[in-house]
Amino acid sequence: MDPGEFGYSTLPLQHGPYEAISAETLKGTNAGKVAVVTGAGQGIGAAISEALAKSGASVAILDLSIAKQEDTRKACETHGVKVAAYACDVTSQDAIISTFDAIEKDLGPIDILVNNAGILDSRPLLMSTFDGFWRQIEVNFKAPLLTIHTLLPRFRERGGGCIINIASRSGTVDVPMTLGYVSSKAALIRATHTLQKEMEIDGLDPAIHFYALHPGGVLTGMGGSAAKQDVKEKYGDPRDESFFMTLFKDPPALCGQTCAFLASGRGIGLRGFYLDCRQDVGKLLEKGRETLVKEKRNTLTVNFLDGYCNEP
């Protein structure tokens, strides 16, 4: 793997919360709203939950067990908002519907959804079981679509809402031995683009706004996890490569605060785009939505040989 294959940014990247997305700047911007965060038990999901709580939102946190979310719940409650934890298998439509019904009974109508739950099995397809490969598609892509499919009619009835899909740079590049992960994240980014277009067609744009967000290089149990022993024996341990640890230098709070910013509506000009939370939202907004759309920025695309276009 060559970390410089796609070049290095000439503009400075952010490696922690900055003024535009800081807790101080966003204080109270999501007050009165109800937010749902999946995969909230630890890491990025916990940081997203707390950032939304800091910005004033009541927070419903979801994971496979309530016990796993105890630390997240306590952290969110310190900010004086309502917090409720739910055990939910987000790959089950019945579980999602019943959980969302319970949330709206306990906390009120849902305004914000952050699809964060995800898994990674680092191994080539030739060494995978198909079930093991497909499980990543189920958790990383099917589950967000199930939550979106459940919530969209409610957003339509209420006239608005925000959905943030935690994507990955891996969905924009080829990363060997992560086929299930990269495929599911690419699909999630494309779904974000397409769903925002559907909101336009139905007259629901910009009231319902979607975002696909790369959380940065966060050393979580998943992002920095080692391959299983059988894979290491054949291919070596990627953690032994000198550049490996330099990829993970971003705190979960950077993604968390970016989510709070987007949920507040302050970044609505970036709706439908794939965003990297290390890139300053101010610079993107300064460029202007019309220009970003015209130049196909922050969108999955294909680069053909000059003279050929992606025509119908």
How far is residue 88's CA from residue 97's CA, in Å, rounded to a whole number? 10
Q: How many domains does the chain have?
A: 1
Listed in sequence order, the DSSP H helices in 41-178 are: 43-54, 70-77, 93-106, 130-137, 143-158
DSSP per-residue codes, 184-231: HHHHHHHHHHHHHHHHHHTT-TTTEEEEEEE--S---TTTTPPPPHHH
Q: Identify the CATH number of the domain in which residue 219 sits.
A: 3.40.50.720
Query: How confident is residue 228, by pLDDT bands cut at 50, 70 and 90?
Result: confident
* Spatial CB neighbours of 88, under 8 Å, sequence gap ≥ 6: 38, 62, 63, 64, 95, 96, 99
172: tokens are: 């924009």
C-beta separation of 57 from 83 below 8 A:
no
Give yes or no: 181 in active site.
Answer: yes
How far is residue 113's CA from residue 163's CA, in Å, rounded to a whole number? 5
Rounded to two decimals, the pTM is 0.96
User: Is 14 a domain residue?
Assistant: no
pLDDT tens by residue, 186-208: 999 999 999 999 999 999 999 99
User: Is 122 a domain residue?
Assistant: yes
Q: In this structure, what are the phi and psi dihedrals at residue 250, rounded to the nearest 5 degrees?
A: -110, 130
User: Is 3 a domain residue?
Assistant: no
Conformation bin of residue 227: beta by default, left when phi > 0, alpha when psi is -120 to 50: beta
* Spatial CB neighbours of 241, under 8 Å, sequence gap ≥ 6: 1
How far is residue 160's CA from residue 21's CA, in Å, rounded to a whole number? 22
pLDDT tens by residue, 115-174: 999 999 999 999 999 999 999 999 999 999 999 999 999 999 999 999 999 999 999 999
User: Is 177 a domain residue?
Assistant: yes
pLDDT tens by residue, 132-145: 999 999 999 999 99
Query: How confident is residue 221, by pLDDT bands cut at 50, 70 and 90?
Result: low
What's 87's DSSP letter?
E
Helix 130-137 / helix 179-201 crossing angle, nearest 10 deg: 30
Selected catalytic residue, list 181, 235, 274, 308? 181
91: closest CA among 223, 184, 200, 175?
184
DSSP per-residue codes, 263-277: HHTTTGGGTTSEEET
Host domain of residue 130? 19-294
User: Is 5 a domain residue?
Assistant: no
Dihedral angle, C-alpha 25, 26, 31, 35, nearest 10 °: -170
Query: Tokens 């610079």 belong to which residue?
Result: 283
* 3-state secondary structure (DSSP) of residue 155: helix
User: Is 105 a domain residue?
Assistant: yes
pLDDT tens by residue, 94-110: 999 999 999 999 999 99
User: Is 4 a domain residue?
Assistant: no
Helix 43-54 / helix 252-264 crossing angle, nearest 10 deg: 40
User: Is 34 a domain residue?
Assistant: yes
